[in-house]
Amino acid sequence: MLRLTAFTSALALSAAAAMAEDIKVGVSPGEHGEIMEEVAKVAEPMGLNIEVIEFSDYVVPNQALADGDLDANSFQHRPYLENQMKDRGFELVEVGTTITTPMGVYSDSLTDIADLEDGAQVAIPNDPTNGGRALLILQDLGLITLAEGTGLVPSPLDVQDNPKGLRFLELDAAQLPRALADADIAVINTNYALASGLSPKDDAIAMEQDSPYVNIIVVQDGRQDEPWVKTLVEAYHSAEVKAFIDEKYEGAVLTSW
């Protein structure tokens, strides 16, 4: 009987492995990649094998998804996706929310944003949505005023009042931590801050409040009803993944579910 039970269990495991689906998910460095590795552990017993592929910038993962080199990606917020689809004609669709990562203001020379001097150099992301997000944070801090009607994607050209005469340095988001050696402050996405060893909790001199920039899982339009998509979202929204996020990031990364 024991031999038969073991044989039956082995057959069941073999059948489950044969039925498992393999997918490729694109992520950015830092928390997006780390969390997706945890999601992969949860998804495997559910019959979904996830290969996590890391990209060093914010442009390639959507192009790779549109080209069919990826099955899904998990690295961006809604405004960024909307801007990418508008500019590049991608036919992509959101299938689930993931996390919110408030942007932070960092400095190698300041411990209080109130000490920022006139003419200071401020490094911000050079892509429209994250650059606009950084400018909105600076406006919330009372450092600048933006022209009305710019929405979520203002640029430095939309700065209406700049009493300190701040000078804006626009860089690729991944390069911003390195810019701290030259800029007075830098507004950095959490994933790149964490990847460079910065702690949003301990090192940021200001943090974004009430962020509308929830991150999402994205697939090609037309694939959103495939069974693996539901499994991927369920694995991401699992209690195990939430516990991992809460413990590892201590409030620097917030779950959306």
pLDDT digits (tens, 9 = 90+) for 148-172: 999 988 999 999 999 999 999 999 9
Residues 157 and 194 in one domain: yes
Residues 62 and 26 in one domain: yes
Work out the pLDDT band at 5, boundaries 50, 70, 90: low
DSSP state of 95: E
| pLDDT over 80 at 173, yes or no | yes
Question: What's the CA gap between 176 and 184, in Å, rounded?
Answer: 12
Residues 168 and 83 in one domain: no
Residues 11 and 97 in one domain: yes
Residues 228 and 165 in one domain: no
CATH code of the domain in which 186 resides: 3.40.190.10
What's the whole-number mean pLDDT along residues 12-23? 67
Question: What's the CA gap between 7 and 227, in Å, rounded?
Answer: 29
DSSP states of 124-149: EESSHHHHHHHHHHHHHTTS-EEPTT
What are the tens digits of pLDDT across the range 191-205?
899 999 999 989 999
Q: How high is the mean pLDDT of the chain?
A: 92
Residues 89 and 153 in one domain: no
- Domain boundary (202, 230, 247) is at 202
207 in any annotated domain? no
The token duo for 67 is 């080209």
How many distinct structural domains can be found in the chain?
2
Residues 10 and 32 in one domain: yes
- Among 56-60, 158-162, 203-207, 236-240, whose mean pLDDT is lowest? 56-60
Instruction: Name which of 81, 79, 19 is nearest 219 in CA terms.
Output: 81
**pTM for the model:** 0.78
187 in any annotated domain? yes
58 in any annotated domain? yes
- Considering the chain, what percentage of its residues have pLDDT values greater than 90? 81
Residues 220 and 143 in one domain: no
DSSP state of 181: T
Residues 89 and 134 in one domain: no
208 in any annotated domain? no
Residues 197 and 75 in one domain: no
Q: Cα–chain-centroid distance for residue 54?
A: 12
Structural domain of 154? 104-202
Residues 160 and 196 in one domain: yes
Residues 197 and 221 in one domain: no
